[in-house]
Amino acid sequence: MELNAAPIGVFDSGYGGLTVLKELEKAMPGYDYLYLGDNARAPYGTRSFDTVYEYTLQAVKWLFDKGCPLVILACNTASARALRSIQQNDLSGMDPSKRVLGVIRPTAEIAGKFTNTGSIGILGTEGTVTSHSYILELQKFFPEVKVYQEACPMWVPLVENHEHDKPGADYFVRQHIDRLTQQCADIDAIFLACTHYPLLLDKIMRYIPEGMQVFSQGSIVADSLKQYLERHPEIQSRLSTGSNCYFTTTDRAETFDRQAAVFYGKSVASHRIELL
Ligand code: DGL
């Protein structure tokens, strides 16, 4: 990484955040980005609150140490379980001039606009669903909208193990779509509230009832960050603008490089790092 680089840090438990990074770069190509995937400890979705918090805090500290003035938790599970504590309790002790943002609020801010029936569906990890973060955030912006949730614990392992486009994945995709739609026949907008799930989009589209729309978060988060930086020149002016993207993983770099291309659409050359 260039000396003096001040990239936007993008963190996920594994590969899923690459679906967000891709959209960030598309919307804001000038900045430098530093991606960190905690592949060695993924998935986070079934881990306890304390564990997700501890791992996420380690990742944020590492990205801050590498010079990121701003870190995006491109992971719903980390956003649901760690973001608030980091913002409220840890940031002041690390560097109060830096920022950590998540993916739930930007999605909740606009989700209600995409339903005509007033009923939306959220598909996420167990950690995200049991946190009720989407229900709480959506209530603030769209109190009249009804939110139905379904946890899909098998979906991230399918993606992390590169089985998402194989026939075996169909069973689990269908199972959770059916469980969600059985909760309410009126749902007309489904949000993929896990950054890994866009990889399953083809199969999801195969099993959703006709007329239902499905939304991924990448471009939503990118639009929201763009607006945030316009409103916060004090953060925006600290970001370096070399249009470089650096990739790091806590597991084998060769494996990351091979799989990342599937999520990111381009080949990457990552480095292995250790989080403590
Ligand atoms: N991409 C993460 C999310 O958005 C996956 C969580 C996991 O590691 O289980 O929640």
19 and 192 Cβ atoms separated by less than 8 Å: no
Q: Give yes or no for residue 200 CB within 6 A of ligand 1.
A: no
Confidence of residue 2 (pLDDT cuts 50, 70, 90): confident
Average pLDDT over residues 95-113: 97
Closest ligand 1 atom to Cα of 16: 1
Residues 127/52, Cβ–Cβ less than 8 Å: yes
Lowest mean pLDDT among 94-98, 111-115, 257-261: 257-261
Query: Mean pLDDT of all residues in the chain?
Result: 96
pLDDT at 161 over 90: no
Its pTM stands at 0.96
Q: Which residues contact 227 (CB under 8 A, 6 or more apart)?
A: none
Residues 197-213 have a mean pLDDT of 96
Considering only CA atoms, which of 7, 8, 80 is closest in space to residue 225? 8
pLDDT of residue 4: 83
Q: What percent of the chain has pLDDT over 90?
A: 95
Average pLDDT over residues 35-41: 97
Q: pLDDT band at residue 127, thresholds of 50, 70 and 90? A: very high
Residue 246: which pLDDT band, with cuts at 50, 70 and 90?
very high
Judged by DSSP in three states, 218 sits in helix
How many angstroms separate the alpha carbon of residue 77 from the centre of ligand 1? Answer: 5
User: How large is the average pLDDT for residues 139-143?
Assistant: 98
Task: Report the alpha-carbon distance of residue 116 to residue 35 in Å, rounded.
Answer: 37
3-state secondary structure 221-234: HHHHHHHHHHHCHH
C-alpha 250/C-alpha 252 separation (Å) is 7
Helix (H, G, I), strand (E, B) or coil at 8: strand
Say how many Å lie between the first and final Cα of the chain, rounded: 21
Place of tokens 């990457």: 268
pLDDT of residue 160: 83
Does any ligand 1 atom lie closer than 6 A to the CB of residue 75?
yes
User: 1 pLDDT exceeds 80?
Assistant: no
Ligand 1 pocket mutation pick from 195, 197, 200, 251 by most atoms within 8 angstroms of CB: 195
Q: Ligand 1 within 6 A of 80 CB?
A: no
Q: Is the model's pLDDT at 69 over the cut of 90?
A: yes
Give the rounded distance of the alpha carbon of 245 from its chain centre. Answer: 18
Residue boundaries of the structural domains of the chain: 8-102+219-272, 105-216
Q: Is 44 in the pocket of ligand 1 (CB under 6 A)?
A: yes
Residue 59 pLDDT: 98
- For the structural domain made of 8-102+219-272, what CATH number should be given? 3.40.50.1860
DSSP secondary structure, 173-205, as one string: HHHHHHHHHHH-TT--EEEE-STTGGGGHHHHH
Kindly state the tokens that stand for 4.
């003096």
pLDDT at 3 over 90: no
Q: What pLDDT shows up at residue 36?
A: 98
Who's near 14: CB < 8 A, 6+ residues apart? 37, 38, 39, 42, 43, 156, 160, 196
Q: Is the pLDDT at 112 greater than 90, yes or no?
A: yes
**pLDDT for position 262:** 86
The reply to whether 8-102+219-272 and 105-216 are identical in fold is: yes
To the question of domain 105-216 being in CATH 3.40.50.1860, the answer is yes
Q: Are 200 and 171 in contact (CB under 8 A)?
A: no
